[in-house]
Structure 1
Amino acid sequence: MATPAQALRALGVLVNSTTFWQNANASLTRIALGVGTGCAIGFAFGVLAGHNAKLRGLLEPLRWLLMAMPPVVVVVLAMLWFGLGSSMVIFITVLMMAPGMYVNTVKGMQLVDRSLVEMTHVYRYGAWMRLRHLYLPALAAPLTAALLIATCGGVRLVVMAEVLGAESGAGFALANARSTFDSGELYAWVILILGLVAALEFLLLQPLQRRLTQWQEPRKEHA
């Protein structure tokens, strides 16, 4: 087992290698495509289901099935359908990310003040103006919280899928380090993955959340 000092030395060697950038780019691309597409699909269906009770009832069993299914089962099925590679990893991420965003969007839509909705109809707001000026500001807090959870969960899903069935990426490199008993490189990849999650949360998602929800903060009264 590598010591912390050995893991840090292995981290320096890893970052300076050519294979690191290839694997890092592959994982980052899969995370961006998988999480972004999954959240977009979940948001779109959530907005539609928030307006239509029949559609919501139709989607509820599918949502429950996807949220109840263990991710490893989805990985095995996706490997049979898509084989090894990026398509399999992205498919799994989209399938696992969409239900969470869908649930948060539907719940947020149901909590929007009905009087405000009626006011947009009185002033004849179109669907786009209603979405932009009413629903998006009202959904900012739950959606940014859901996006934070989805991004962190998406990183874990991508790495797990790469470990089980990919030919590149951080998870693939982790699996190789495990098979060769190179614990220093294995710990180095773990440190990098933790650093990626921390960077996404503190440098991207939390500032985005503060920006989108700043209108909800009480304004300071001028003296």
Structure 2
Amino acid sequence: MTGSIFSDLLIAAGDRLGRAGRFLWGGWAGLAALALLGAVWQAGFEAYGAFILPAPLDVVMKGVELVSAPATWAIAQATGIRALEGFALSVLVGCGVGIAAGYSHGVLRLVRPLLTIMLGVPPVAWIVLTMIWFGAGDGTVIVTVIVAATPILIAGTAEGILTRDRGLDAMALAYGAGPFRRFATLGLRHMSAHLFPAVVLALATGFKVAVMAELLANAGGIGGALADARALFDIEEALAWVAISVSLLIAVEYGVVQPVRGELERWKQAAQPWGVKR
């Protein structure tokens, strides 16, 4: 009995290590994309000069200089915490409302016009309103992120529930599966195919809106550092702060979101023929 449990643990550990290895190996495609971006950037620098677009190597060196300063970590941490707090709250609200809208047509009819309104109002308008309501602080940034990211998550979650296979749902009901069991085994898995692209988009939107709100509200963080670089016409430092912000986003997406997605979507890999990649 003990040997069987030990072998099962070894198989599970080997499966996870294999998926982690495939995930890391897929990073070569990302590095190739960054190399292509660097080549286009270098061509722009050679065409327009350093005043319009500094050389990528100069921006990288400026970023290394910024990262070596302890104050940079505090600035990046402030932006990261605000963006992640707003994103986490938007995930809770968006997924909850989206699931309710997916299972209830009455809720869906109420939510659709609200989504149109929330998506139609530009983030800058929300920043102005939250500055009036909450002042120049964390509240402005967090609420703006919530308002900007929640509609995306509601739409993705509701679409995933609405497009589920009703035949499989009826079959599970016929075999005695309750609503929570059907949701965990059928609805959640189908919803993830629509939810995770929405989560990635909402995460990127959250970081962008957080930096924008910090800049306009003078609330510190990376947005405040960008405002200082703009005042000094320091293009290299401004681009270096942009690169730091994007690095934070990449770290969260590929350190948290994509591994969770891989765990929830293991059934997709099992259904693929050998050698077929997503």
Q: CA distance change for structure 1 residues 214 and 186 in 2, over 3 Å: closer, same or farther?
A: same
Greater mean deviation of Cα atoms: 128-137 or 146-155: 128-137
Q: What secondary structure does 1:46 align onto?
A: helix
Give the aligned partner of residue 155 of structure 2: 103
Q: What secondary structure does 1:167 align onto?
A: coil
Q: Which amino acid aligns with 1:33?
A: E
Instruction: Give, in angstroms, the shift of residue 190 of structure 1.
Output: 1.5
Greater mean deviation of Cα atoms: 206-215 or 40-49: 206-215
Deviations 1:154-210 (A, max 9, x none): 111111111111422111111111112333321211221232333344444344333
Name the CA distance, whole Å, in 1 between partners of 2:223 and 2:258: 26
Instruction: Give, in angstroms, the shift of residue 220 of structure 1.
Output: 4.5
1:17-166 matches, within 5 Å, as 17-166=69-218
Instruction: Please say if residues 101 and 146 of structure 1, whose CA atoms lie closer than 8 Å, have aligned partners that are also in contact.
Output: yes
Instruction: Please say if residues 86 and 166 of structure 1, whose CA atoms lie closer than 8 Å, have aligned partners that are also in contact.
Output: no
Q: Could you list the runs of 5+ residues in structure 1 that have no partner in the other structure? A: none
Name the CA distance, whole Å, in 1 between partners of 2:194 and 2:87: 17
Name the CA distance, whole Å, in 1 between partners of 2:174 and 2:143: 42
Aligned residues: 221
Deviations 1:141-162 (A, max 9, x none): 1111111111111111111111
Greater mean deviation of Cα atoms: 98-107 or 189-198: 189-198
Q: What secondary structure does 1:84 align onto?
A: coil
Instruction: Give, in angstroms, the shift of residue 68 of structure 1.
Output: 1.1
Greater mean deviation of Cα atoms: 113-122 or 156-165: 113-122
Q: CA distance change for structure 1 residues 219 and 62 in 2, over 3 Å: closer, same or farther?
A: closer
1:194-205 matches, within 5 Å, as 194-205=246-257
Calculate the TM-score normalised by the size of structure 2.
0.73
Instruction: Please say if residues 130 and 144 of structure 2, whose CA atoms lie closer than 8 Å, have aligned partners that are also in contact.
Output: yes
Name the CA distance, whole Å, in 2 between partners of 1:76 and 1:169: 18
Q: CA distance change for structure 1 residues 92 and 220 in 2, over 3 Å: closer, same or farther?
A: same
Greater mean deviation of Cα atoms: 187-196 or 18-27: 187-196
Name the CA distance, whole Å, in 1 between partners of 2:83 and 2:172: 37
Give the aligned partner of residue 7 of structure 1: 59
Higher RCO structure (Cα 8 Å, ≥6 apart): 1
Q: Could you list the runs of 5+ residues in structure 2 that have no partner in the other structure? A: 1-50
Q: What secondary structure does 2:220 align onto?
A: coil
Instruction: Please say if residues 45 and 102 of structure 1, whose CA atoms lie closer than 8 Å, have aligned partners that are also in contact.
Output: yes
Name the CA distance, whole Å, in 2 between partners of 1:136 and 1:166: 41
Q: Which amino acid aligns with 1:27?
A: T
Calculate the TM-score normalised by the size of structure 1.
0.89
Q: Which amino acid aligns with 1:91?
A: V
195, 211, 215: which one aligns with 2:263: 211
Question: RMSD across aligned C-alpha pairs, in angstroms?
Answer: 2.0
Q: Which amino acid aligns with 2:130?
A: A
Name the CA distance, whole Å, in 2 between partners of 1:4 and 1:58: 48
